[in-house]
């Protein structure tokens, strides 16, 4: 059984009374998906929507040529697969667990009932959709206006914010992350991503932005390289998400 006080902290449930949350969870089914297990396929009938309790999920889209592209990662507390919330009948992307994952599942047929009974749930879901749309728009702008080094820096910062945790060396990316995933999220080739990651691992100041296994991101130094006029406190008191504040064209390593 889940700790309801922890579940209540999820953004999707923000503003729900405790008894309403209990009723909402009573309508759900808990499923456990093993690492690499499929949750739903792109184009499949959207029979369910989900909230991730623990673990991480990768959302991918397959192109007409058959290439699979990573479009985002889902973190604990996020709603996903909520096609019914935006009025579509099929999943626009596929989802699979990248670690063992615990997930809450509701039938899509219940969405309208739950949204009517708990308007705050619909509002929170709309905020999530809006945030993802804004993120997509930002990535389009980055693709058309920024060099690959800038896009890679922003991508690493986003990953640090969404799927990272603090460790002594900086921020650890908690998901199994391939260079190909980073390349796709940044809108570049595997070759270019590998080149940039290597340069981040051995910069001209002697700082390391990522370790040699690509599992750690030293976020303080990466923020410094995002705009060296804004030093980051040595104690590690970093804002949680800064790509929109730091102007990537001012990355001193590559864009000055």
Output b/e per residue, 84-109; b: 16+ Cβ within 10 A. Answer: bbeeeeebebbbbbbbebebbbbebe
Q: Is residue 255 assigned to a domain?
A: no
| Same structural domain, 80 and 177 | no
Domain carrying residue 239: 146-250
In terms of DSSP bridges, do strands 94-97 and 48-54 run parallel, antiparallel, or are they unpaired?
Answer: unpaired
DSSP 8-state code for residue 124: H
| Same structural domain, 127 and 169 | no
> How many structural domains compose the chain?
2
Domain boundary among 83, 108, 141: 141
Do 79 and 24 touch, CB atoms closer than 8 A? no
Residue numbers of the chain with a pLDDT score lower than 50: 203-208, 212, 214-216, 218-256
| Same structural domain, 22 and 129 | yes
Query: What's the pLDDT score for residue 210?
Result: 54
Residues facing residue 32 across a β-bridge: 102
């Amino acid at each position: 059984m889940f700790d309801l006080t922890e579940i209540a902290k999820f953004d999707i449930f923000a503003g729900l009374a405790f008894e309403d949350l209990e009723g909402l969870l009573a309508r759900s089914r808990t499923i456990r998906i093993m690492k690499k297990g499929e949750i739903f396929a792109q184009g499949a009938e959207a029979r369910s929507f989900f909230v991730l309790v623990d673990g991480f999920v990768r959302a991918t889209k397959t192109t007409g040529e058959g290439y699979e592209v990573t479009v985002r990662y889902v973190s604990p507390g996020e709603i996903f697969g909520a096609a019914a919330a935006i009025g579509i009948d099929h999943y626009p992307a596929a989802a699979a667990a990248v670690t063992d994952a615990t997930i809450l599942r509701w039938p899509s047929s219940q969405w309208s009932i739950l949204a009517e009974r708990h308007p705050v749930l619909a509002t929170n879901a709309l905020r999530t959709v809006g945030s993802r749309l804004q993120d997509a728009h930002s990535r389009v702008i980055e693709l058309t206006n920024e060099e690959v080094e800038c896009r890679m820096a922003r991508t690493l910062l986003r990953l640090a914010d969404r799927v990272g945790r603090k460790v002594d060396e900086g921020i650890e990316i908690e998901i199994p992350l391939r260079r190909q995933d980073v390349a796709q999220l940044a809108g570049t080739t595997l070759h270019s991503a590998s080149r940039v990651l290597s340069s981040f691992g051995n910069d001209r100041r002697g700082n390391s932005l990522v370790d040699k296994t690509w599992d750690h991101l030293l976020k303080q130094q990466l923020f410094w390289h995002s705009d060296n006029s804004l030093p980051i406190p040595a104690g590690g008191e970093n804002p949680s998400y800064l790509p929109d504040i730091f102007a990537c064209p001012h990355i001193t390593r590559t864009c000055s």
